[in-house]
Structure 1
Amino acid sequence: MPMVVEPQSLQSLSAEELRELTTRLMTQLRHQSALLDKITHENALLKGSSRFLGNRRQNSLDRA
């Protein structure tokens, strides 16, 4: 779940609270980065599949 932190609220946090917040935000960032990498890879696979299928359909039409 994305975490929204207002800049003004950072002023009132202690050093320990800032460390905890930083840890949570870094974990969230790693998760989102991994998800983006996965989706990018899946998108590339799907684009490759659609190109391959498009070429096969065109070849079939050329032979007919």
Structure 2
Amino acid sequence: MHVAVDVPKCVASGQCVLIAPEVFDQRDDDGMVVLLDDSPGPEHHDGVREAALVCPSAAIRFTQP
């Protein structure tokens, strides 16, 4: 799985961090998404999928080989 975020689309809701904290974080100054791991292991795939689904601005994208 490859993960990408579109930071300008982010609305800093933080749902991704709550769901997959191993993959996503937020900047301290404005709460915008920070991608910690663009190729997370299989144990994090479900969390990434859920984070992408609940992201209110659809700022998270992922592809699977």
TM-score band, normalised by the shorter chain?
A: under 0.3
Higher RCO structure (Cα 8 Å, ≥6 apart)? 2
Normalising to structure 1: TM-score of the pair?
Answer: 0.26
Q: TM-score, normalised by structure 2?
A: 0.26
Which structure has greater strand proportion? 2
